[in-house]
Amino acid sequence: MQLLQSLIWLLAGVGVFIVGMNFMSEALEKSAGEGMKRLLGRISNNRFSGVGIGAGVTAIIQSSSATSVMVIGLVNAGVMTLMQATPIIMGANIGTTITGVLVALKNDYFNMLMYFAAFAGVMMGFFKQEKVRIAGLLCSGLGLIFVGLEVMSSEEAFGNPLVETMFQNIFSVIDFPLLLILVGIVFTALIQSSSAATGVVITMVGTGVLTLDLALFIVLGANIGTCVTALLASVGANANSKRVALIHFTFNVLGTVFFTAIVWIFKEPMIHLLVSLFPGSDPMSLQMRVSVFHVIFNVSTTCLLLPFVKQLVQYSCRVIKDKEQAEAVRTLKYIDDRLLSMPPVALMQAKKEMDYMFSLVEQNITNSFSAMQASALSQGGEIAETETVINFTNSALTKFLIKLSANVEQSDELVIGSYFHVLNDLERIGDHAENFYEIAEEMAAKKITFSERARDDIKKMCDKVLQMLTLSRDAFDTLNKEGLPQLASLEEETDKMKKALTASHFARLAEGDCSIDVSPYYCSVVAGLERVADHLVNVGYSIVSPVGDEK
């Protein structure tokens, strides 16, 4: 009975530790949005900067699994190449070692500080301010990590002689490197966190339940087990995303094989080196030996394999080949559902997707104006296909933003709210562009044309709208407010032009200068251009008012 109680106590400690890890990771993801955006903005083909970005992002969010899932999402969306993704995956393994070092540094005074942090974090959660609540989540998460560690190392858990004897008997049976590596793989795969698995191993070494020579092999196995999350994330993704997961797995397997051989052959010198670095039998010294080995393993593996990034990419391409699909599956250009686990990055990619949608709308507006003014009907298929992409992007991105809105902080909720308005405006502009082309097509079929004066008037109004489109897109792309007064002024001019052109048209009809047959088309074009101008103002001013002041 006492053994059962100790095991339950032990599991409770592991549970509290994992909850603390999740709390802290969630808080860091929310609070480090701008930092991650800056890091991701520096993505290049430079291998060393890639390693730095991977290590930095993982150190910020305390989860190599989350980083790998994010990278798979970016590769799947076509934002990042395999050559860029591989060093970032390598760097993520370095960033995840920070948790182990923190665990090893714990002592009575440090624990007391962390317990207070947990309490303070819970109290901060009652505040209304979003930033205070996020800081509270971070504090409570950090505190709970050490509460969990303390529970695991207490006399009721690992400190119980019965538990210690049980684990010693278990490890005496599986006292074989490959079996120990398998234990590390399975344990990490189950809890899907190498940081948590390493933290448990470090605690076991600190309490004397596990010897250092056995712990090293379990830590090596944990680095393979952490690949399970990335492998699962690649299911259903494109070939390149599967290759990222394969590279992640291969990298960790190669590193584990290399270090297993070294530790297996040179176990005594390795143990002696770690003991000499941290002499003494106190828990901190025992724990630091494991955490330092974890750092050495990941840094060394990265240094060894970084020169072979190109070869790893080529290997992944040979193993996972591109499949020819009978029917192309339409997807968003920059967005992938895997990015939902990283809200700041997902929001940044949503902005890129909307910029791309804006370029499609601009393309269709320009082509439809050419069709009206010069009866150039050769681009009808292109306009129809582009309109299909615009409609798909509007629908798919709206669904994505709805999912994302549940995971972002309050300030980003306002941004997402404005994006819904912008999407609606862009989709409506796309509809008007298609209508303009259909008008030109119908008039060509009926062999009727606008009078020269009517064409000149429509061209002037089209030029105004194109000028507004440039200002609106610049405002939305760069968040530049300088052109907004001019945008509003042009919109007022188009309102006046609509009234003036309509009156002028009816005057021409009375004078017999225009045919009654073109009247419906002329009025539709003028009214459509005025509505496009309204939508463009809405888009431009979305950067001023988070909820958008729809006209």
Render pLDDT for 254-295 as a digit per residue (tens, 0 to 9).
999 999 999 888 888 888 888 888 887 777 888 888 889 999
pLDDT in tens, 237-259: 677 778 888 898 999 999 999 99
Distance (Å, rounded) from C-alpha 26 to C-alpha 388?
37
pLDDT of residue 162: 62
HSE of 4, CA atoms in CB hemisphere, 13 A: 1
Q: What is the pLDDT of residues 77-124, one digit of tens each?
A: 666 788 888 898 888 888 888 877 777 776 667 678 878 888 888 888
Q: Amino acid identity of 496? A: K
CA distance 342 to 490: 40
Alpha-carbon distance 502 to 523, whole Å?
A: 7
More confident residue, 21 or 155: 21
Q: What angle do CA 66, 336, 22 make, to 5 degrees?
A: 25
State the pLDDT confidence band at 550, using cuts at 50, 70 and 90. Answer: very low
CA-to-CA distance for 467 and 462, rounded, in angstroms?
9
**Vertex 88, ends 87 and 91: CA angle to 5°?**
85
CB contact at 8 A, 155 and 6: no
115: number of Cβ within 10 Å:
15
Domains located in the chain, CATH noted: 2-319 (no CATH), 342-543 (1.20.58.220)
pLDDT exceeds cutoff 90 at 142: no
Cα separation, 324 vs 139, in Å, equals 50
Report which of residues 251 and 325 the model is more confident about: 251
Structure tokens at 212: 């250092």
pLDDT at 535 over 50: yes
Residue 350 in contact with residue 335, Cβ under 8 Å?
A: yes
If one counts every other C-beta atom within 10 angstroms of the C-beta of residue 172, the result is: 9
Calpha distance 219→294 (Å, rounded): 7
CA separation for the pair 266, 287 (Å, rounded): 21
Whose CA is closest to 399, among 363, 430, 423? 423
The pLDDT score that the predictor gives to residue 16 is 82
Residue 241 in tokens: 């995303």
Low-confidence winner among 234-238, 387-391, 474-478, 489-493 (lowest mean pLDDT): 234-238
In angstroms, the CA 473 to CA 517 distance is: 36
CA distance 296 to 305: 14
Q: Which residue in this structure is represented by tokens 């819904």?
A: 420
Across all residues in the chain, what is the average pLDDT?
A: 81
